[in-house]
A and B are shown apart, each in its own frame.
Chain A
Amino acid sequence: MLNYLSKKSLELLITFFGITLVSFFLINLAPGKPTDAVSDLNPRMTPEIRAIYEKQWGLDKPVHIRYFIWLKNFSKFDFGRSFSSDSRPAWDKIKERLPITILINSISMFFIFLIAVPIGIHSAVKPNSLSDKLTTVGVFVGFAMPVFWLALILQLILGVWLNILPVSGIRSLNYENLSWINKIFDSMRHLFLPIFITVFGSLVGISRYMRSTMQEALSQEYIVTARAKGLPESKVVYKHALRNAILPIITITGLSVPGLISGSVIFETIFAIPGVGQLLYQAAMARDIHVIMAEVVIVSILTLFGNLLADIGYALADPRIRVK
């Protein structure tokens, strides 16, 4: 197991540096410079001042040199300062925004599994039944509907017309004056829509996957053996079949991390949630290389960590992997 883990970690480390390399070059290939925001619309800007300005940020050097400078700073955990007017260290900007994004995604993940896994099991146990068909249609509707469109429509209906939920943000204006129980209630009301949108859009993947792995498991011979023993059907399904069918789902969990984070970019922008997704969008718009790279680092670490957790989870759950 230790051998397996160290090998896996080395793989992930190499992947990580691959990601930073490709990302850095891609960002710099895109047209425009981080300093454009300051220089382009300034009528008094001369080419000389612009050159001084770029030199100040180190943008005059070729890309590959700049990548190595970035790597050197990264080894000291220095991501550089933001190009935006606040000029704060990129890492500080991310650090304060990370908890809300992780919170929303963890809660979403929890609900996705809580809903999708039973849907998948039910569909597999009673294939082509009315309830199977209804849930299938339901999850595909969620899949087919563009998340940003659904978010806007729900904001309009629930927030504006019915006025029962807040449209954006994570706190009401009077949050500080509320009792602690009302504070929790206030946060729940604000987080409901973003979480609902994320969960609704992601149900289809896990539930369909669960359905097929469960059907596969139920068609295996050990299921006939279990029934021939005289086990009640509930034990056959929820013990013998589920334990086998859940294994691939563990892998999917690890792989779904990047999808959730890219989803954060969309819903945090729409709902004005001050998370890393919104920051990434703003940074990309402002060509704020240092913040984008710091985001890339964080997102890749989260993704790779998710993969590692999935591998470990799989190894713990499947005795056949454990011994290798």
Chain B
Amino acid sequence: MNNCLLEVKNLHTSFFTDAGEVKAVRGISFSLEQGKTLGLVGESGCGKTVTALSIMQLLPNQAKITPGGSILYKGKELLRLSQEELRKIRGREISMVFQEPMTALNPVFTIGEQIREAIELHGNLNKKEATNEVIKLLKDVGIPEPNKRIKDYPHQLSGGMRQRVLIAMALASFPSLLIADEPTTALDVTVQAQILELIGALQGLKKIAIILITHDLGVVAERVDFVAVMYAGVIVEYASTQNLFNEPLHPYTKALLGSIPKLEDKDAKLNTLKGSVPVLTELPAGCIFYERCKEKSARCKDITPELVEVKEGHWAACCLYEKG
């Protein structure tokens, strides 16, 4: 565990709304080693983004992390840092790429200015050196004619280009951990592949650890070392990518894998996962996946399954694997 870069333990995050407390993340734990990649997979609203924002502590005002949990980064407890100390972690140690490249860039500043800001914040470069650094970064993320593009405003770039700009910005101060929150969801399929390739290439180049958040299992299949499957605010299965795809344990993971259309079998009916995610203000007792589960039994209604190690390095939270 000495190699551990990030260790999240028993993280709970709730939104306090007029409708009551919405428990978006309900006790998740995972760890990530230096230079490794983790895929955080699940449906919309399962708490993936809230997990990422909790690590960055950039949650909206009405959201609170419940005391008792822990986020250790390089052995440092992030939840106990002051705003000023956190600010030094953000960007420099942990940075983030967002889902919507259209709105994540400030429309009234040039992209060069927005990247340079990040560089100047953490290094001791003068303006000219910083500008050269921006050009180098833009070249790294595959933007043609970077010395011209730095004078462009976000609205002058395509979605894919803007996402590259955001990635360049996130990498500006050589972080050890990059959290990519659905970096390709808003993009065209062809551009998606390019961006994912870029992230993969940059990871190899800069030796950073990555948490790749996505709702698309296909995206993580070839690109991450480990996968955590989330459902309604908890991790229901955690394994190395290979194990997860070869031998999914949790009925939810099986259903997700089953719903990926297969090209070779053209006549097959597309498998779907019926029902929807439970409302987080009124969670049922027992297993949260009970309503939609194909393998449910009577006792699932009463028992809330814990995440247990079913095989070595392969964890699942399901009554099928509960001991005793």
Contact check, B109 vs A228: say whether CB atoms are below 8 A apart: no
Q: How many B residues touch A, CB cutoff 8 Å?
A: 33
Return A216 CB to nearest CB of chain B, in Å.
13
A224-B98, A319-B108 are known contacts. Are A229 and B166 too (CB-CB below 8 A)?
no
Stretch at the interface among B18-26, B117-125, B196-204: B117-125
Q: B90 touches which one: A221, A227, A247 (CB < 8 A)?
A: A227
Q: Which residues of B contact A221 (CB under 8 A)?
A: 98, 100, 103-104
Q: How many A residues touch B, CB cutoff 8 Å?
A: 23
Contact check, A228 vs B107: say whether CB atoms are below 8 A apart: no
Query: Is there a chain B Cβ closer than 8 Å to A96's Cβ?
Result: no
0/1 interface trace, chain B 51-69, chain A, CB 8 Å (1 if under): 0000010100000000000
Contact check, A228 vs B58: say whether CB atoms are below 8 A apart: yes
Q: How far is the CA of A226 from the CA of B95 in the complex (A)?
A: 11
Using CB atoms, name the residue of chain B closest to A232.
B87
Q: Which residues of A contact B169 (CB under 8 A)?
A: 225, 229
Which residues of A208-229 have CB atoms within 8 Å of chain B's CB atoms? 220-222, 224-229
Q: Which residues of B contact A231 (CB under 8 A)?
A: 87, 91, 117-118, 121
Contact check, A225 vs B166: say whether CB atoms are below 8 A apart: yes
0/1 interface trace, chain B 79-106, chain A, CB 8 Å (1 if under): 0000100011111100110101001111
> Which of A221, A233, A243 has the most CB atoms of chain B within a 10 A radius of its CB?
A221
Interface contacts (Cβ under 8 Å), in number, total 77
Query: Is there a chain B Cβ closer than 8 Å to A259's Cβ?
Result: no
Contact check, A227 vs B58: say whether CB atoms are below 8 A apart: yes
Residues of B within 8 A of A (CB): 56, 58, 83, 87-92, 95-96, 98, 100, 103-110, 117-118, 121-122, 153, 155-156, 166, 169-170, 172-173
Return B182 CB to nearest CB of chain A, in Å.
13
Using CB atoms, name the residue of chain A closest to B86.
A230
Q: A243 touches which one: B89, B100, B109 (CB < 8 A)?
A: B109
Q: Which residues of A contact B107 (CB under 8 A)?
A: 222, 244, 318-320
Using CB atoms, name the residue of chain B closest to A317.
B108
Query: Is there a chain B Cβ closer than 8 Å to A183's Cβ?
Result: no
A222-B103, A225-B105, A319-B155 are known contacts. Are A230 and B92 too (CB-CB below 8 A)?
yes
Question: Could you jot down 30 A-B contacts, CB within 8 Å?
Answer: A221-B100, A224-B58, A225-B105, A225-B106, A225-B169, A227-B58, A227-B90, A228-B90, A228-B91, A229-B90, A229-B95, A229-B117, A229-B169, A230-B89, A230-B90, A230-B91, A230-B92, A230-B118, A231-B87, A231-B117, A231-B118, A231-B121, A232-B87, A233-B83, A240-B109, A244-B107, A318-B107, A318-B108, A319-B107, A319-B153
